[in-house]
Amino acid sequence: VYKRQIHIVRKGTTSLIMLLLVSSCSFLDIDPTAIRTGDSFMNDETNAELAINAAYNSLASHERWSDGLLESHSFYIGEIMADFAEMGSHKGDFDDLERMIEWRPYTDEIILYCTWKRCYDGIYRCDYVLENIGEAPISESLKQRIEGEAYFLRAMNILRLTTMFGSIPITEGIIPTESYGKIPQKNLHECFEIAASHFEKAIDRLPTKNQYESKNIGRATKGAAQAMLARLYMLQEGMDKDCQIAAWDSVYKYTDLVIKSGEYNLANNYATIHEPEGENNIESIFEIQFGSSSVLNSGSGTSREDIGTTSQIRCGIRSAQNEGLPGGWGYYQPSQLLVDEFEDKDPRLTCTVYGPNYNDGIVYGMKRNYDLSDMQSEYYNRHLAIDPELEAKDLMTATSNSSRNVRVIRYADVLLMNAEAAYHQGKESEALDKLEMVRQRARNSTFAKGFVLGKGSTYVNTGYSNNLPKVTTTGQELLEAIWHERSVELALEDMRYWDLVRTGRYLDRLDIVRATSKDPTATELRFANIDLRANCTARCIQGPRGVKDIPIFPLPGEEAIKWNLTQIIDLYK
């Protein structure tokens, strides 16, 4: 794992912009700390790569404490705001997140502020690259690649801001001082269009996966840009009432390009995907790369001395003592609704949850202790379970951060997007074929690693037969089968909320959450006296279905004042 850092001093300012560079591979194997001025920084190939590497780090910063900010994990919105995950821990432990779950957020919610700040930090870093790369004395091929990476990462940040906040200010290039507070907001449709244009520019410039050297594993590729553009169009089709294009045709086009590239495939065993050995595998299209170290702290403005993600500690077992494991915070717990969504004998469930009343509490071959009084469901997130042989020792240090990569998009998602697009084009046989590819892999997979007591490093065969039957249905039932497959294949991968919103099912699912959510040791429903649907509807704008069913989060109040921005929903208090 290579970790380096640099400072860029922007001309005309007194602030330093920290560019903190991380990887769990070796594409950031670069020279140690250096200081450059903004005007002269990109004067050779090494420095040009340093600058774009810093833009990758802004994407990673959502997953850790840094610069005095809380994490802004994508799962806060993508999963915990939906029906298949609970906040975890106990009531009152994270008031900001609780208010968001109940759809009564303030404009100063820390999660929203941190997301906003980090996304715009990422956009600025990309703008710095794009503004200066043209005159850099480097090869045209490297210049093209770096431009492609910058457009890709800029689009990623804009897409996240767009889908959360609806209307945001977007500039062309670095904002001059005299324009502060005068940048007009773009509406939801315009933001989607800008992000799409960036992904298209990235596609034109980026190498394919196989054109990269091994030292560059983890960088954006042509396939990653195509897959993310397909995701954008899928979201736009279901969220943007002013969408003028045949979005499903575009989803089909770009997923088909990824499929026919021959560079990606399904991993043989689903159970390996979220393990350390599954990082950057044949199925991986784009991952956020992480490392772990206790040597990095100079000038970063953070008390954390590492470059990992806080996910595993934040989501680990809370309160109960377990020998050889660090204490966790107990967040992001799978719900009973998620467990019930899995079909009988689906091996993927074993890789998705663990807990006191599931598989006798065994995880990584050991029976663990749990405290139900400090849990909001009976399950913990198996994707983020700590391997006692590979990770526990490092995570028990004072820094407590993980080197686990975050999977942003993988080949199974592309297949299921392609299936859904094929369905909407009337190509039901194609949709069924792609759906079967995903289900076939699942039915033949093993139990989770260490599912059997005493076999912590072993993938044990399930012995199942006739499980996960082939889908043969048509029409609306086929569409719902594809939605179901997304819900279990991509469980806890931060897409559930967005899938519900884009398909118009979110408000109905809030009613189900209200009618079922209950702490394991409680007798009363958690939201019995809170009308989740009404709260959310009051914060929705009109979507393509002609009703107000697209939730919009409030702009951070301080930012709205500083930049003279208008809140889309005036009902926020």
The pLDDT, as a whole number, for residue 425 is: 97
Q: How many other CB atoms are found less than 10 A from the CB of residue 429?
A: 9
Q: β-strand 4-9 against 16-21: which pairing, if any?
A: antiparallel
Is residue 84 within 8 Å of residue 335, measured between CB atoms?
yes
Helices 222-239 and 140-165: angle between axes, nearest 10 degrees: 20
The pLDDT, as a whole number, for residue 398 is: 54
The pLDDT, as a whole number, for residue 292 is: 58
The pLDDT, as a whole number, for residue 338 is: 98
pLDDT tens digits, residue range 452-470? Answer: 999 999 999 999 999 999 9
The pLDDT, as a whole number, for residue 8 is: 32
Distance separating alpha carbons of residues 121 and 128, to the nearest angstrom: 11
Closest CA to 331 of 99, 50, 20, 76: 76
| Per-residue burial over 539-560, b = 16 or more CB atoms within 10 Å of its CB, e = otherwise | bbbebbeeebbbbbbbbbbebb
- In whole angstroms, how far apart are CA 408 and each of 110, 367, 547? 23, 31, 30
The pLDDT, as a whole number, for residue 510 is: 98
pLDDT tens digits, residue range 12-38? Answer: 322 223 333 333 343 543 433 444 555
Q: What is the dihedral of CA 51, 56, 60, 66, to 10 degrees?
A: 10
Confidence category of residue 399, pLDDT binned at 50, 70, 90: low
Structure tokens at 330: 């107990």
Matching residue, tokens 């377990």: 322
Percent of the chain with pLDDT over 70: 89
Residue 487 is inside which H or E element, if any? helix 475-489
Range 438-451 average pLDDT? 98
Beta-bridge partners for 17 = 8
Identify the residue with better confidence: 516 or 176.
516
26, HSE (Cβ side, Cα atoms, 13 Å): 4
pTM over 0.85: yes
- Checking if the pLDDT of 133 tops 90, the result is yes
- Checking if the pLDDT of 242 tops 50, the result is yes
Residue 47 is inside which H or E element, if any? helix 45-60
Distance separating alpha carbons of residues 215 and 503, to the nearest angstrom: 40
- Checking if the pLDDT of 43 tops 60, the result is yes
The pLDDT, as a whole number, for residue 38 is: 55
Indicate the range of 80-89, 160-169, 289-298 predicted with least confidence.
289-298
The pLDDT, as a whole number, for residue 25 is: 40
SS3 234: helix
Confidence category of residue 495, pLDDT binned at 50, 70, 90: very high
- Checking if the pLDDT of 365 tops 50, the result is yes
- Checking if the pLDDT of 2 tops 60, the result is no
Distance separating alpha carbons of residues 463 and 120, to the nearest angstrom: 50
Indicate the range of 130-134, 311-315, 329-333, 566-570 predicted with least confidence.
566-570
Neighbouring residues of 272: CB distance < 8 A, sequence distance ≥ 6: 278, 281, 449, 459
- Checking if the pLDDT of 304 tops 80, the result is no
DSSP class of residue 207 equals P
Identify the residue with better confidence: 66 or 187.
187
